[in-house]
Amino acid sequence: FFHLQALEHVNARLLELYPDDEERFDIVLMTKNHAQVGVRLINSINHYGLTIERFCMTGGKSPIGYLTAYLTNLYLSADSEEVQEAIEAGIASATMFTANKDVPYSDMQLRVAFDGDAVLFSDESEQIAKEQGLDRFFEHEQLNENKPLAQGPLKGFLEDLGKLQKKFYAKNERLNCPIRTFLVTARSAASSGARVLKTLRSWGLEVDEALFLAGAPKGPILEKIRPHIFFDDQMFHIEGAQKLGTIAAHVPYGVAQKYHKCA
């Protein structure tokens, strides 16, 4: 599902560098299964050598109500209705889609890729592109280049990844950091890229790599990056990523959902 070995490698490195600090990835398994299934789940987790110590088994009820109590930074599920419910509750969330072919992933570096509009940022600019066309969008972005975009549903998760990265930087481990982040956007760098980069700077955030594709397909780039997960708000990009072997996660947020439902 979400290459847990890479997460556990990050945790192991953090434990080496900060043995008294508990700020690490904490994985909670949430399931609608009844508690009686717990033994089977425990056996499976032990079989694969994973460290998942917290379970939430709701006996058929939605687990969304427990997310706040678990201090959830990111909720991943194959159930799109639950994901929508979590997004509406203000929790970073996405619907997982497995890749259509197997490709090798790194177990030594967690690689996370994000779309920009309606994922890291609000859908303010995407609304203009969808409703008024690309020319108006480019004009709007250039006029507002120095006005930061509002935050989107996964801004907080990028922030959390950044906090962990800075722990490695503080120990002079920038070049060996086991977390790497990517912005993969359909925006054009020349006409609408500056606002994105200036927004990240205004937030005090950075991504390791920014790829502006100017409308080109994302799948081939993602195949090269090989992220453990790629977040996008448009199913068209999710499907393109899947076909070329990327585990993708759909963020049901913003104006693109209206167009997707009408399609």
Catalytic residue IDs: 115
Cβ atoms 259, 130 nearer than 8 A: yes
Rounded Cα gap, residues 165 and 158, in angstroms: 10
- Of 224, 253, 261, nearest in space to 241 by CA: 224
Cβ atoms < 10 Å from Cβ of 113: 27
Instruction: State the angle between helix axes of 4-17 and 155-170 in degrees (0 to 180), rounded to the nearest 10.
Output: 40
H or E segment and range at residue 109: none
- Of 229, 240, 256, nearest in space to 74 by CA: 229
Q: Going by DSSP bridges, is the β-strand pair 93-97/248-250 parallel, antiparallel, or unpaired?
A: antiparallel
DSSP string, 65-91: GGTTTTT-S-EEES-HHHHHHHHHTT-
- Of 71, 73, 56, nearest in space to 7 by CA: 73
Instruction: State the angle between helix axes of 134-143 and 124-132 in degrees (0 to 180), rounded to the nearest 10.
Output: 150
